[in-house]
Amino acid sequence: MDKLLRIGTRESRLALFQAEKVKTLLAEKNTKSVLHPIKSEGDINLTVPLYELGVQGIFTKTLDIALLNKDIDIAVHSLKDVPTALAKGLCIAAVLKRDAVEDVLVLNPSKTPEDLKNADAVIATSSLRRKAQWLKRYPQHSIESLRGNVITRLAKIEEHNWHGAIFAKAGLERIDALPENYIQLDWMIPAPAQGAIAVVCREDDLHIRDILAAINDASTALCTTIERNFMRALHAGCTAPVGAVARITGNSLSLKVNVCSTNGQQCVELDLSFEPHQYGTAGESAANSILGLGADKILESLRANS
């Protein structure tokens, strides 16, 4: 296109990195672009835990409005932050190749992994999913709320003398902020679409959709779509204590999912596999299976208490 493609992004260091990555990929496809930073509501309110704000798409809403108003041409997001039901008139036009999906515990420099055996250990996170899975494994621990951008959250670990805080590994690696004193939580099922970057545009802008198709990673798009379909079929929001991760090996796809109560005392988990002809309905199928095993009761309780 003749004019510069305007890339909408949040102002955090991580968001800007992700937008720059999209800009670089577009440049490799001979499309010039410029960043257009916009402050989101999720960045403004740094005191209330995300699950208490009561708004889906807290980090995407402001960019959605800018897109629909044609102030920007595309918006770049961490896909796990994007609601499963997009604003009317918008679509996910590209999903970049996925980075690490795992969560990590960043330890306080004064603590060691042995200290996690202590009953008085304090772990920081504002994610209900991370809180639930952590308390399932360590029911004696306390959980503290942690908000802010990545750098701010890392600094708070020492400031509050917490034993550690939970982060998405991909986010820390993208801005070269993964410290040496971390533990990879391979047992924790990540959020649907964790580790993936999405590019959103207006649904009727076919020219830009064609441009973005060139930077789409088909495998990542498939896996994250299945994970998000699982979340959508549960009628659970982005902040619900729901985990899902899909991986393709050869001609088979594995899908690991769970639904937990916020205190971790109730948790239903499934590890499923699907053949290519089943990919289109894998997310919904997994949702129906886990709901039938008791996840429906957990989700009903969560809605009643929200």
Name the 3-class secondary structure at 185. strand
Position 104, amino acid: V
Of how many residues is the chain composed? Answer: 306
- For residues 73 and 205, the answer to whether their CB atoms sit within 8 Å is yes
Structure tokens at 7: 């890339």
Alpha-carbon gap, residue 75 to 48, rounded angstroms? 25
Q: In this structure, are strands 122-124 and 103-107 parallel, antiparallel, or unpaired? A: unpaired
Structure tokens at 95: 């999903």
Structure tokens at 178: 């993964």
Question: CA 157, 100, 291, 221 torsion: positive or negative?
Answer: positive
Told to judge if 210 belongs to the known catalytic residues of this protein, a careful annotator would answer no
- For residues 205 and 87, the answer to whether their CB atoms sit within 8 Å is no
Q: Sort 250 into a burial class: Cβ within 10 Å, 0-12 / 13-18 / 19+.
A: exposed
Bridge partners, residue 259, by sequence: 242, 268
Of 130, 105, 252, 124, the C-alpha closest to 190 is 130
Given the residues 43, 64, 73, 81, select the one marked as catalytic.
81
Alpha-carbon gap, residue 166 to 131, rounded angstroms? 9
The set of catalytic residues is 81
